[in-house]
Amino acid sequence: MTRYGCDKMSVLLPPSVHVTSLSDFLRSFPQLLGLVVLIRTHSGREGELVPSYHLSLGFPALVHKSPRGSLLAKQEPVTLSGRYTSSFPSFYSGSRENLQFFSCGCSYPVLLLGMRLQVRSRVPKGPSLKSSEDDREHKLDPIHFFHRRACPPGKGLGSSERTKEPCEERRGARRSLSEGSLASSPNQSIGQRSLLRSQFLQVPTSLNDPYRPPYRVIITRRRAFLPSLLAMDSDAFRKHGKEMVDFIADYWAGMRERTPLPDVQPGYIWDLVPSSPPENPESWEAIFKDLEPVVLNANTNWHHPHFFAYYPTSLSYPSIMADMLSGAIASIGFTWKSSPSMTELEMVCTDWLVKALGLPDFFLNSHEGPGAGMIQSTASDATLVALLAARSRAVNKYKKQQESTKLGWVYSNVSRILSKVGESRKESHGDIINPENHDPAVPVKLVAYTSDQAHSSVEKDAMLAGVKLRKLRSAVDSRLGNYGVRAETLAAAIDEDRAAGLIPFIFIATIGTTSTCGVDSLVALGPVCNAEGLWLHVDAAYAGSYLICPEYRYLAEGMELVDSFNFNAHKALMVNFDCSPMWFKDATEAVSYFDVDPVYLKHEHQKKAADLRHLQIALGRRFRSLKIWFVLRALGIEHIQKHLRTMEERAKQFAELVAQDPSFELVVPQHLGLVCFRLKGANELSERLTAAGNEDRRIHLVPSQAHGVFFLRLAVCNSETTHDDIRFAFNVIREIAQKLA
């Protein structure tokens, strides 16, 4: 046999084989027992024969192990079954006692079945495959596929009992093979044409044909159609991974050649993508080729210098690389033990942010108090967690108050009955009734408060929590000239609702509202919440990132009065989506409420290690802290501060252009990176301007409305946006407005 490098496997098979997928292989040969694979080194020396058995597939394969080391991955010896020892080929002369079974998820026999087997002719340039006499007389018998019926014990490898006349099917296969040509045809697949060009041929035949001389099957890792259960091996991943990095870098470098808003209509993708998934693997090149027409041509480019909609979703190269590592590690950190580094790095990074943003020390994980910090997916999740924790505290407080009143015995009896029912149902059916949080007398009375300028997710969170939500009318704050809830408005609402028999339990304040970047004053609202026993949660999704700059920390004055706080690092802190850090002054209530602790999640370190699953809705957790860790280390606080200040400078420039034009007016003063403006006159003018501007597609903005006034929002979303870009945006808006006049 010809000797090949150790990066290849030389396999003896019947005349020709074409296997496109493991499922096709097993479907065609359900009674397959084994496959012999010979692996040779450059020297050609043979190592010991060892069988490799993949437990999930149910058939063995004898693998010739290279003297340079086994190509099998994880080696776990298991008991050698007599069923398989009887099937060992006669040419093996070693002691069967020395054989070992290996159970591993990525052994080469199993990977082999997922490959496209490439059959090379003995006469590469000839039109047909003809066997040589040497092949027929080779000391190794060519029967390397065992079929239970075709090869019963004693009649398998090395047996002299053979059927001389091949069946008609084999005659047809040989005839079509000898008449075949190496020239490509339009009906051949891309893979077939490429193999033919490299003097490889794929033809279908029966694997259960033990009476034809073997042909060499070369399986190289670089030529493999599916070289591993991961769809590519490490060498291919290095190659294609670098291609993807280059693709991303080119996408960013060529951003200005694109438009911020794509020119597509709903349903565009159905003409580009098949309605059913592929049965067999596709090449990476084919997938890569589809990225531009399917994805990028219809992508809204949030990081385009002329994208001014919504709020920013920032990123940086260190953050992208951190996400790559997170995806590669692929851990699910629901407990400390499930991923110690994920848990502890998250605690360290949230402590770093406390110090970088100038937040109170009681938020530190390293603080002696009950405070805690962790990372949620979004601000919506963080607000819901705060709502549920506050609801739990309110219910427990209500329960204690009711038990101390004249009707306490009634409430106690109802709770006791519900508790007993819950325990019985828990034992018999697995259903759990929480008497505190499902007593109908409690949740229907709970009422939460927020501003009419708060994000829409607050309303959705209240619906999920099953509580009433009262939106308080905001007013223009004299300090910022922007919208916020006044303390007297909140106090009056609390008194009114209590008089109606309701239970006020939380106020959700906002620092940097979505519509106008307004701020609810914590200095004014905090004392009211503390005096009335309300949980004070602060959603600083957008503006929270700006607290890293000392000159913006006036926004968070009164933070010592809050119970919980969150912001979106993925909005302006150069960390890509998703990453929403959250902190509790006292996490006890949240941990108690979310504590569901089945046996399979328990571990020996629970008493001294943090399980952050107790502070969130979901069980699974991503390695989000890697992004913060990479960004803070690779960029440093000073670079992030420069990034934020640059975006505010661009916003100031646009606000000045608006103020200088007599056709436009500012709705509220420019704040941070947001400018709210409109055409003077009726709302209809600004509505038409918005529609025409987005149809133009040179820039992208979205509108909003506050107290009946319709306006446009220009949010600077990219520090790469230059002064020229700002002037370009204003000129486009003015040009469109003049056409509408």
Write out the DSSP string of 279-294.
Answer: SS---HHHHHHHIIII
Count of other CB atoms within 10 angstroms of residue 721 = 25
pLDDT at 438: 52
pLDDT at 417: 47
Residue 160 structure tokens: 């002299």
Residues 573-595 as b/e (b if ≥16 CB within 10 A, e otherwise) read bbbbbbbbbbbbbbbebbbebbe
Domain boundaries, given as residue ranges, for the chain: 329-408+439-630, 639-739
Distance of CA 467 to the CA centre of its chain: 31
Give 584's strand partners. Answer: 372, 564
Q: Which of 215-219, 427-431, 472-476 has the lowest mean pLDDT?
A: 215-219
Q: From CA 171, how far away is CA 177, in angstroms rounded? A: 10
Does residue 598 surpass a pLDDT of 90?
Answer: no
Does residue 432 surpass a pLDDT of 70?
Answer: no
User: Is CATH 3.90.1150.10 correct for 639-739?
Assistant: yes
The three-point CA angle 574-579-583 to 5° equals: 115
pLDDT at 43: 30
pLDDT at 439: 55
The pLDDT of 640-659, averaged and rounded, is 96
Does residue 706 surpass a pLDDT of 90?
Answer: yes
The fold adopted by the segment(s) 329-408+439-630 is: Aspartate Aminotransferase; domain 2 (3.40.640)
298 vs 428, which has greater pLDDT? 298
Does residue 360 surpass a pLDDT of 70?
Answer: yes
pLDDT at 175: 42
pLDDT at 533: 94
Whose CA is closest to 680, among 669, 666, 691, 694? 666
268-326 confidence digits (pLDDT tens)? 999 999 999 998 888 888 999 999 999 999 999 999 999 999 999 988 999 999 999 99
